Amino acid sequence: MNHARTAGAPRRRPVQKRSAARFERLLDACAELLDEVGYAALTTKEVARRAGVPIGTLYQFFPDQQGLIGALAARNLNAFVERVSARLESERPEDVSGIVDVTVDEFVAMRRTVAGFGVVDFGATGQDHVLDATLDNNTAVAGRLRGLVPALTGIQDDAELEIAVRVALECADSVLNLAFQADPHGDPRLIAECKRVLNSYLSDRIGSRTAGASSAVSGRP
């Protein structure tokens, strides 16, 4: 498989303000249509029409529909990481439970409020290299989230942390998808169970290291 073709990268990213506005308008239109018609019925022609731009303009930015979806997934991931990072910086949770609560709550909030997020959060079903040409989608997302942990806890990025975050993400992905299948707003019982599973697993894998690093940074005994 040619992963470079399946990475879903835009053809080019706009620099000028007017072009950047069109780029974002196309992504907004794509997200709205995903909620209305679903992934299978989405077309670049309809996205361009909804955005109010010529179809040729869309293809100036995106090589194909997959490129459009890839750019939307990347925007979603950037927004998610920014939201999680801002809350972690503000709240400075002292243990794994606090980190899990923030991360899961922000995902759930985006799932409830961000257009198209329920269809294409950080990738598309059946397309494993939307965010990165060499990494599957969940590995790419785990890498971004893993990058938040050392700054918060002092734990350095290592193989143990990498696999722990990746396994936690796979678990969360499955349980939260189930939560939103059961309830369009997310079944609160399943969301709570997701947190319980992640807390149990991550506390066992990195919890003691997190507590120790946090105490050392803050000077607490």
Write out pLDDT tens, residues 25-58.
999 999 999 999 999 999 999 999 999 999 999 9
Question: What secondary structure letter does DSSP report for 127?
Answer: B
CA distance 90 to 65: 38
CA distance 138 to 169: 7
Q: How confident is the model at residue 206 (pLDDT cuts 50, 70, 90)?
A: confident
| Over residues 66-93, mean pLDDT | 94
CA dist 1 → 5, 7, 64, 67, 151 (Å): 9, 11, 18, 17, 36
- Write the secondary structure of 32-48 as one string of H (helix), E (strand) and C (coil): HHHHHHCCCCCCHHHHH
* Confidence (pLDDT) at 184: 95
How many domains does the chain contain in total?
A: 1
- pLDDT exceeds 80 at position 78: yes
| Domain encompassing residue 180 | 3-218
Weakest-pLDDT range from 28-32, 157-161, 211-215? 211-215
* Confidence (pLDDT) at 131: 83
Q: Which two tokens stand for residue 115?
A: 């257009």
Report the CATH number that the domain containing residue 27 is assigned in CATH: 1.10.357.10
Choose between 216 and 178: higher pLDDT. 178
* Confidence (pLDDT) at 148: 80
pTM attached to this predicted model: 0.85
Which residues 6+ apart lie within 8 Å of 164 measured at CB?
A: 201, 202, 205, 206
Q: How confident is the model at residue 204 (pLDDT cuts 50, 70, 90)?
A: confident
- pLDDT exceeds 90 at position 209: no
Which residues 6+ apart lie within 8 Å of 36 measured at CB?
A: none
